[in-house]
Amino acid sequence: MLSSLYFLFMNNIMRIEDLKKNYGNVQAVDGISFSIEEGICFGLLGPNGAGKTTTIEMMEGILPPSSGQVYFKEKKIDHHFKQKVGIQFQNTALPEFITVKETLELFRALYPDPRSLDEVIEICSLSDIIDRDNRKLSGGQKQRMLLGLAIIPHPEIIFLDEPTTGLDPQARRNFWELIKRIKAEKTTVLLTTHYMEEAEILCDQIAIIDHGKLLEIDTPEKLLENHFDGALVKIPHADRDDLKLEGGIIKGDYIEISTRNLDRTMKELLQTQLNLEGLSIKKPNLEDLFLKLTGTTLRA
């Protein structure tokens, strides 16, 4: 009762209902439902081919679903919807032979009330490349510029489809800062990624999808809390199958122990006479969760 009341009063900016898309025999999206609260960064996480782009493009109103519904503020999306959103496509060809500034101006001319050039430059840190030819941009610079284009119409929600794929670690971190700035402006962000670290850092809510289906949805903290005990202890070169350790699983040539009581586990381990050389203790992350849910790694 309480939870259904909460649902009623929650400020959902978008909601999808049993969304499906098939390409011939390929069921790219297979009945996904979720809602996105206003102002958050929502992450759609899944490996290549999971159905992220197909889902996001149906939510953008670009791709017609085979069935199911997409709602923006509880109204079915229509052709006005595209004026209210910012879209950064997974692959975008930029106009050639013009500069970043000229490109921004070109896009600004398409909207009735565009964000000022200075503001876009400021938010997306574009001043150092503003006069550069589009063809001379590095991967990270191109993504910054594409984000600039996406925020021009003062969007209420912005869709970013794998904006950091292929960027080097430094460029990815720089991009995360921009996403945080956009979030601070109260713009809702829908981000797809196959980097779990990125999702963990940026996202308030995460939907994990695979084979077109929603596997889990929650905050990063809750997802980990629900699936793992406190810590993961890993002991390499310990393939003794006579060992009985609470929470221990033998995985090839190492043992992994999931434990809420590290103290007890360590004492137990010391009694086994195992060679503990190379033992590691870590907090499980979303990559571990994905492995647990699907048996494969996110970047496989």
Ligand X SMILES: Nc1ncnc2c1ncn2[C@@H]1O[C@H](COP(=O)(O)OP(=O)(O)O)[C@@H](O)[C@H]1O
DSSP 54-98: HHHHHHTTSS--SEEEEEETTEE--TTGGGGEEEE-SS-PPPTTS
Give the number of other Cβ atoms within 10 Å of residue 193's Cβ. 24
What percentage of the chain's residues is helix, strand, coil (to nearest 5)?
35, 30, 35
Q: In whole angstroms, how close is the CB of 274 to Mg ion at the nearest point?
A: 44
Identity of the residue, 66 or 272, whose beta carbon is nearer to ligand X in the bound complex: 66
Q: In whole angstroms, how close is the CB of 232 to ligand X at the nearest point?
A: 27
Identity of the residue, 53 or 164, whose beta carbon is nearer to Mg ion in the bound complex: 53
Identity of the residue, 20 or 52, whose beta carbon is nearer to Mg ion in the bound complex: 52
Question: Which of 10, 11, 26, 275 contacts ligand X by CB under 6 A?
Answer: 26
What is the size of the binding site for ligand X (CB under 6 A)? 11
Q: In whole angstroms, how close is the CB of 190 to ligand X at the nearest point?
A: 13
Q: Describe the crossing of helices 286-294 and 220-227 by its angle, rounded to 10 degrees.
A: 50
Identity of the residue, 162 or 256, whose beta carbon is nearer to Mg ion in the bound complex: 162
Contacts of ligand X in 160-189 (CB under 6 A)? none
To which H or E segment does residue 217 belong?
A: strand 213-218
- Buried b / exposed e across 5-28, counting CB within 10 Å, b at 16+? eeeeeeebbbbbbebbbeeeeebb
Helix/strand/coil for 112:
coil
x/- contact string, 32-71, with ligand X (CB under 6 A)? --------------x-xxxxxxx-----------------
Question: Which of 53, 188, 258, 265 contacts Mg ion by CB under 5 A?
Answer: 53
Residue whose entry in the numeric block shows the structure tokens 């993961």: 232
Identity of the residue, 126 or 203, whose beta carbon is nearer to ligand X in the bound complex: 203
Q: In whole angstroms, how close is the CB of 215 to ligand X at the nearest point?
A: 13
Identity of the residue, 55 or 187, whose beta carbon is nearer to Mg ion in the bound complex: 55
Partner touching 54 among Mg ion, ligand X, none, CB below 5 to 8 Å by kind: ligand X
Q: Does residue 247 contact residue 258 with C-beta atoms inside 8 Å?
A: yes
Q: Does residue 160 contact residue 189 with C-beta atoms inside 8 Å?
A: yes
Separation CA 169–CA 194 (nearest Å) = 14
Identity of the residue, 192 or 205, whose beta carbon is nearer to ligand X in the bound complex: 192
Give the number of other Cβ atoms within 10 Å of residue 93's Cβ. 7
Question: Which of 13, 14, 16, 28 contacts ligand X by CB under 6 A?
Answer: 28
Q: In whole angstroms, how close is the CB of 90 to Mg ion at the nearest point?
A: 5
Partner touching 49 among ligand X, Mg ion, none, CB below 5 to 8 Å by kind: ligand X
Q: Where are the alpha helices (DSSP H) in 162-204?
A: 169-184, 196-202
Residues at the contact surface with Mg ion, assessed by CB under 5 A: 52-53
Residues at the contact surface with ligand X, assessed by CB under 6 A: 23, 26, 28, 46, 48-54
